[in-house]
Structure 1
Amino acid sequence: MTDEILTLKEVAEYLKLAEKTAYRLAAEGKLPGFKVGGSWRFKQQDVAAWIEEQKNSSKE
């Protein structure tokens, strides 16, 4: 299985963000994630794609 699932804490560490910031971005729909039993989860592939989108949009 190539799609690794990250927890909120793991995605915050990956993006070098505070957990509260990652939670807020996910809750606002700005960070691609989904809830499982009330806890946020993120596909690593989706987060990587989101990073690329952020890089491209900041160049415009």
Structure 2
Amino acid sequence: MAGAVQVMVREVMDIRQAAEYLGISGDTLYRYASEGFVPAFKLGNRWRFKKSLLDGWMVEKSGGTPAPAAPVVVEEKKPVRRAR
């Protein structure tokens, strides 16, 4: 592929990066996030978007079958001993 431009996509994106990734305007994405239409979370007072969640959301919205999720490993914590 001569002349192809490779764009690095981060796992956690800000609104500008996520809007570019989705091919929509930042204003539209901000509205979607505020309305809970797209998977997003706030870090401080700024919206953040996980690429893996956006990918799953797009598959769901397009009627496709999502790829199997990676297994989640949960570590058990030891009980905390009470001070005397």
Query: TM-score range, shorter-chain basis?
Result: 0.7 to 0.9
Q: What residue ranges of structure 2 are gaps of 5+ in the alignment?
A: 1-9, 65-84
Q: Structure with the greater relative contact order (CA < 8 A, sep ≥ 6): 1 or 2?
A: 1
Name the structure where helix makes up a greater proportion of residues.
1
Please tell me the root mean square deviation across aligned C-alpha atoms, in Å. Answer: 1.5
Instruction: State the structure with more CA Rg.
Output: 2
Name the structure where strand makes up a greater proportion of residues.
1
| TM-score, with structure 1 as normaliser | 0.86
**Structure 1 residue ranges, 4+ long, deviating more than 6 angstroms after superposition:** none
- How many angstroms does 1:4 deviate by? 1.2
| TM-score, with structure 2 as normaliser | 0.62
Q: What residue ranges of structure 1 are gaps of 5+ in the alignment?
A: none
Give the count of matched residue pairs: 55
2:42 match: 35
Q: Percent identity?
A: 38
